[in-house]
Amino acid sequence: MVKVRFAPSPTGYLHIGGARTCLFNWLYARAKKGKFILRIEDTDLERSKKEYLDEILESIRWLGLDWDEIYYQSQRFDLYKQYAQKLIESGNAYQKEGAVFFKYQFSKIEINDLIRGKIIFTELPKEEEVIIKSDGSPTYNFSCVIDDATMGLTHVIRGEDHISNTPKQILMYKALGLNTPEFAHVPLILSPDGGRLSKRYGATSIREYKEAGYLADAIANYLSLLSWSPGNNREIISLDSAKEIFDIADVNKTGAEFSLEKLNWLNSEYIKAKDTKTLAEIVANFLKDKKFLPENVSQDYLEKVTQLFRDRLVKLSDFLDRARFCFYDDYVYAPDTQEILQNNLSKQIDALAQKMSDIADFNKLAIETEFRATCTNLGLKTKELVHPVRVALSGNRVGPGLFETMEVLGKNEVVKRLKRLIQYWQST
């Protein structure tokens, strides 16, 4: 049975690169009906923080992933010491000044990387290495070997930056008589200029993407496309679909370029695809986290506002600016609306406000019919009233459909805001 792992270190938050490694391991385990292990590499007791661990676990869950087993290296120090003692007894390691050193018995090493094919190692940078430090904690390569072996891992899927560790670990497996797993080294995620990711290009924690208003399934979808493809030029794929067809051998060995534009496009597509009720619940949670949502907003109203803006959102944070007028009426008229407001139409807007007040069933069709009729009676083109009315309702010159917006705001709020514009003209 396939058994793989993701081994984050709780010395920082979960970033894009680590999240993709986690996803690929999870997809492979689920595709092969195997097991996915989470191993917390918290041997650095000073730098490992509970806040980082909590965030890592929360981010993994948020992406829609789960795990079958979880281990903490900080609870396994006795096991590492036992295996170090075996190496000392076999002559493959020795103790000096409180530390244990492993002696590499090097010969040419060849592996068949499941992504990269044959890799040959002809030398190592040094002949020995500390495996247990003087404070009793294990070093990375040693703890990694002991854990992968004792946990029964069949495959080690990790970033290509670990390729240099592979021959060292293989020699430790051999020295201990342990089974060596198969290896697959995933290529780096690159910035658009071909370099490594930076804060400017995507090297952001999953938590930050969540806080910016990206949807979990859109992030997971995008991560799956970094060096892998479901085929047939398909770009939108759910985790449930991906886990049915994923194979680590299908991952490209070349670096994947991080594209914020593509991520934004995917996120907007996922927003559009959500049913209104589900999306409104997601929006509500997001706005509550931002302390943006007034307490008296009903679910019905929130669903209407969500429907109004869904096709215009790239990420949920767009709601904070674009839809603010739907929740608060303390806005000012934007600077770029002054050209529209130069033409004082107080009498015409007052007439429109009266007609809006008279509508019994305040729905889009009735609003539009009365609006156009009023324009005709006033001798105006429809657009001559559309622009100032939009400014009156939202403070902006652009936005979603005007008549749909008026229906969502409701008759009383529309009339109140139209009169507010009249007062603005009268005071200037």
Q: In the sheet where 99-103 sits, what is the strand order?
A: 93-96, 99-103, 128-132
CATH 1.10.10.60, domain 335-426, yes or no: no
Pick the CATH number of 275-326 from 3.60.21, 1.10.8, 1.20.1340, 3.40.720: 1.10.8
Question: Which residues make Cβ contacts (< 8 Å) with residue 21, sequence separation at least 6?
Answer: 6, 157, 158, 159, 186
What integer pLDDT is reported at residue 305 of this predicted model?
Answer: 97
Please give the pLDDT value at position 340.
92
pLDDT at 236: 97
Counting as low any pLDDT under 50, the low residues of the chain are: none
Q: What is the CATH number of domain 3-73+188-260?
A: 3.40.50.620
* pLDDT at site 203: 63
CA distances to 213, 288, 291, 292, 298 from 295, in Å: 21, 9, 10, 9, 9
Contact 395/331 with Cβ under 8 angstroms?
yes
CB 330 within 8 A of CB 417: no
Q: Mark residue 176 as left, alpha or beta (left: phi above 0; alpha: psi -120 to 50; beta: remaining).
A: alpha
Give the pLDDT of residue 193. 78
Query: What six digits make up the tokens of 225?
Result: 């496309």
The CATH class of 76-186 is: alpha beta
Question: What is the structure's pLDDT at 218?
Answer: 98
The partner residues of 100 in beta bridges, in order of sequence, read 95, 132
Domain with CATH 1.10.10.350 in the chain: 335-426
CATH 3.40.50.620 in the chain is located at 3-73+188-260, 76-186
Domain(s) labelled CATH 1.10.8 in the chain stretch across 275-326
pLDDT value of residue 202: 66
